[in-house]
Structure 1
Amino acid sequence: MNQNDLIKRINENYPKLSKGQRLLANYIIKHYEKAVFLTAAKLGKIVGVSESTVVRFANELGYDGYPKLQRALEELVKNKLTSIQRMEVASDRINKQHILKSVLQSDAEKIRYTLEDINAETFDQAVDMILSARKIYILGVRSSAALASFLGFYFNLIFDNVKLIHTNSVSEMFEQIYRMGPEDVVIGISFPRYSKRTLKAMEFARSRDANVITITDSSLSPMIPYANLSLLARSDMASFVDSLVAPLSVINALIVALCMKKQKELINTLQSLESIWEEYQVYDKNDDDINININYDLNRQKPNNQD
């Protein structure tokens, strides 16, 4: 579905729509940025038609129910909302009495949608592409920088050819990627609102014939035209705070799959690292606290006549 698919469907079907359905069509075309967040009942009330008319309208356009029409609307507007608008929408959608429950349920839904939509064959191809790369570049900025950093941390344990791009400017970014070539892989991560810096990097990578893997939210993402392979994970396009639970889950799956492919080498690496971590006390083992607690518990359990 291209970005104008919904509008195209409305225009093509408009002559055969009923009077009430035409009211809905006109409202959506003029106010799609508002309509996207309305339930079928609310949309019907605003336009002055019944909820059943809204459902029939969605079916008339070729969508399997109103939720599918709403998802088409989301694709249309997701990159058009400002931070303030996203904040206002989130305020309307979240149950203020049960914020924790609302947010967790919303995140769980995004993982479920991702599981339904993601292409397993594409995922396997991405794993193979990464394994055969001469060098692996990882890039994500703004909120996606956290995902890139997480992926880079574990990739550096698995591979010795990883470069995590740290960038505060476009020029600084190009200084770190200008050597890439056809044998390299670039993993670009971006979600609405999509970063121009990341898009420019993906464009440059393709100009150098590097293999590009994108981790993004939709087949309509501006990242897609630059990608050899795309791993799609749902994110929250309305909330001011980006929901990156589903993308992180996909990244976890990618890391685990690569660990399984390089299990023997990884075991040797981790054995060496464990020795280094222990020597330089990287992790707190709490041995003293454990011994104190054990001795304390044993002393409490001693019989009175025992020394």
Structure 2
Amino acid sequence: MTARIGRCLPALSRAERLVAEYLRDHGRAAIFATAEQIGAATRTSDATVVRTAKSLGFTGLLELRRSLAEEVVLQTSPSHHLLHQTALNQTRPHHNGGGAPDPVVAQVFTEAAERLSATWRLISSAGFDRAVDLMDDAREVLGFGLGPSGLLARYLGLRLTRMGRRARATGSTGFQLADDLVGLGPDDLVVLYVPSRLLAEIEVVLDHAGAVGARVLLISSSLGPLFGSRVDVALTAPQSVSNFTGEMLSAEVLTDALLLRLASRDETRATKTSELLTSLRSELVQGDGRTRPPRRGRGA
């Protein structure tokens, strides 16, 4: 796809070039995006998006998205990267210093450092502060994520609760998601953990948040431009290109940074909640570390 776009780019109109460059640079997001969403992200139109797909030699947007999906699957395949890395290692001279790390292990740590460095570079001070403001002002924070993102949503809810703030999390789909959204109100904040996949549940959450006036903080690797004004703040957490490191690595570190800044704004509340938590834990555990047996009723 990248090579095809490079060949066709000189012959495209200005508007088509904008779409083609977006497809080249945001292939993962485009796989699940509609023509309207791509048009909004590129400030063109859905008709221009369809026209660009045909100018690139596809029958339409559907065929183009299938081609993007095949390319992304190949690029993110762990076996593909492992074979590529192994081939590189075999062509390089070996320097056995007695403590050289396994190349695959080295790749994991290298990629992790690169992702966190990229996350740090992409943080906007204004956007970060605005995100903390939203969390600070919220009556309740609802974290939402599916799959691995759901684990991070629950982590956010747990950390906020331990700071003395109202929070809950959901990773539900179907009718259960509807139950979790019912209590959302205008003074609440939804934190969306959406790496790079557009799913129907995300549209439902965004539509309902907009209907009730709740604020939305999006943490995503590439979908911020697609949602535009439907979210109040979008923070970028780069995703792994090789699957050597976890999907939510950069998003988790970014979440820790947000929580640390939030805690510093009300240290008294955080301290009181921590003391209460410690007290409750001591009530649940005896001095020898065993769980306290249940108390007998008064009539026993």
TM-score normalised to the size of structure 2? 0.65
Check whether the contact 1:134–1:184 (CA below 8 A) recurs between aligned residues. yes
Distance 1:225 1:283 in 2: 54
Residue 158 of structure 1 aligns to which amino acid in structure 2?
A: M
Amino acid paired to 1:172: Q
Aligned to 2:137: 132
**RMSD of aligned Cα (Å):** 3.5
- Taking the aligned partners of 2:265 and 2:286, their CA distance within structure 1 comes to 27
Q: Deviations over 1:271-291 (max 9, x none)?
A: 1211221231399979xxxxx
Distance 1:207 1:92, change over 3 A: farther
1:279 aligns with 2:283: yes
Q: Which has the larger radius of gyration?
A: 1
| Gap regions ≥5 residues in structure 1 | 16-60, 63-68, 287-307
Of residues 236, 259, 272, the one that matches 2:263 is 259
Is 1:90 the counterpart of 2:81? The answer is yes
- Taking structure 1 as the reference length, the TM-score comes to 0.64
Output aligned runs, 1:233-244, within 5 Å. 233-239=237-243, 242-244=246-248
**Aligned partners of 2:196 and 2:223 also within 8 Å:** no
Equivalenced residue count is 228
SS at match of 1:193: coil
Q: Does the alignment pair 1:193 with 2:144?
A: no
Question: In 2 relative to 1, CA 274–149 (structure 1 residues): closer, same or farther, beyond 3 Å?
Answer: same
Please state if 1:215 is matched with 2:219.
Answer: yes
Secondary structure, aligned partner of 1:183: coil
Q: Which residue of 2 aligns with 1:76?
A: 27
Residue 81 of structure 1 aligns with an amino acid whose one-letter code is A
SS in 2 for 1:81: helix
- Matched residue of 1:206: which SS? helix
* Aligned residue runs from structure 1 range 1-307, under 5 A: 7=5, 13-14=10-11, 73-77=24-28, 79=31, 80-81=68-69, 85=74, 86-87=76-77, 88-95=79-86, 98-167=103-172, 169-218=173-222, 222-224=226-228, 226-239=230-243, 242-281=246-285
The change in CA–CA distance for 1:77 and 1:212 in structure 2 (over 3 A counts) is closer
CA distance in structure 1 between the partners assigned to 2:179 and 2:80 by the alignment: 39
- The answer to which of 121-130 and 222-231 deviates more is 222-231
Look up the SS of the partner of 1:274 in the other structure. Answer: helix
Letter of the aligned partner of 2:69 in structure 1? L
State the secondary structure of the residue aligned to 2:146: coil
Distance 1:140 1:252 in 2: 16
The share of aligned pairs that are identical, in percent, is 18
Aligned mates of 2:81, 2:264 — CA distance in 1: 39
Q: Output the amino acid matched with 1:142.
A: G
- The Cα offsets for residues 22-72 of structure 1, whole Å up to 9 and x where unpaired, read as xxxxxxxxxxxxxxxxxxxxxxxxxxxxxxxxxxxxxxx99xxxxxx9x97
The 3 A distance-change label for structure 1 pair 166 and 145 is closer
Q: CA deviation at 1:219?
A: 5.2
Superimposed CA distance per residue, residues 76-115 of structure 1 (whole angstroms, 9 cap, x where no aligned partner) = 2464537964325433454585111101101110111111
Letter in 2 for 1:187: V
Q: Quick one: structure 1 residues 101 and 142, their matched pair in 2 at CA, closer, same or farther if it must change by over 3 Å?
A: same
Cα distance, 1:220 vs. partner?
5.2
Q: 1-side partners of 2:107 and 2:252: how far apart?
A: 19
Query: Does the 8 Å contact 1:184/1:210 carry over to 2?
Result: yes
